[in-house]
Amino acid sequence: MNDKERRSMPLFSIGTVMKLTELSARQIRYYEENKLVFPDRTAGNQRLFSFNDVDRLLEIKDLLDKGLNLAGIKLLLEESKGVKEKKVTTKETELTEKELRKILRNELKQPGKLGQSNLRQGELSRFFTNR
C-alpha cells in the first residue's frame, strides 16, 4: 500500500468530514454536485471520503473565503491537477478560462478577508500521512 493509495482510501463518513472541515452536509454535497469532489460510496450509497477529499474540501473552503465562486474553483483545481489533457482546449474551455480571469480580477480585488478555518488547506494530509 503506497502513499497515493493511502490518501485516496475511502475512510470517513460525511459526519466526520463535517467536523474536520467545519462545512455543512449541504455544502459538501453541493460541491460534489458541482464536480469539485468525488467521494466514494458504500454498498448502501453512503459517501465515504478520503484524505484527499478532505484536503480538497479545505481548499475549496479557503478559496470560497477568498471570494472565488465554485466555477472558478473548479477550474483552478483542474488546472493545478496537471498540465495534461492539454490537447483539446475547446472554445468552451477558453471562454470559461477567460471567465476565470475576469472573476479573479473582479472578485479577488479585496484581498485578505479573513478565512481562517479549523484546518488549513493541505494540513490534513500533512498531518496524517507521510507526504
Partner DNA sequence: ATTTATATGTAAGGAAACCTAACATCGTCT
Partner DNA sequence: AGACGATGTTAGGTTTCCTTACATATAAAT
Question: Residues in the site for DNA, rule: CB under 7 A?
Answer: 13-16, 18, 24-27, 29-31, 34, 42-47, 64, 69-71, 106-107
What is the C-alpha to C-alpha distance for residues 67 and 82, in angstroms, rounded to an integer? 24
Please name which of 49, 98, 46, 96 lies closest in space to residue 74, comparing C-alpha atoms. Answer: 96
Q: Residue 4 or residue 35: which is nearer to DNA going by CB?
A: 35
- Residues linked to residue 48 through DSSP beta bridges, in sequence order: 40
CB 73 within 8 A of CB 34: no
Least spacing, CB of residue 128 vs DNA, in Å = 19
The interface partner of residue 47, options being a copy of itself, DNA, none and the CB cut-off 5 to 8 Å by kind, is: DNA
Using the rule CB under 8 A, which residue among 4, 8, 15, 95 binds a copy of itself?
15
Cα–Cα nearest to 14, from 1, 24, 3, 5: 24
Compute the residue count for the chain: 131
By C-beta, is 80 or 106 nearer to DNA?
A: 106
- In the complex with a copy of itself, which residue's Cβ is closer, 42 or 93? 42
Site for a copy of itself in 36-55 (CB under 8 A): 42, 48
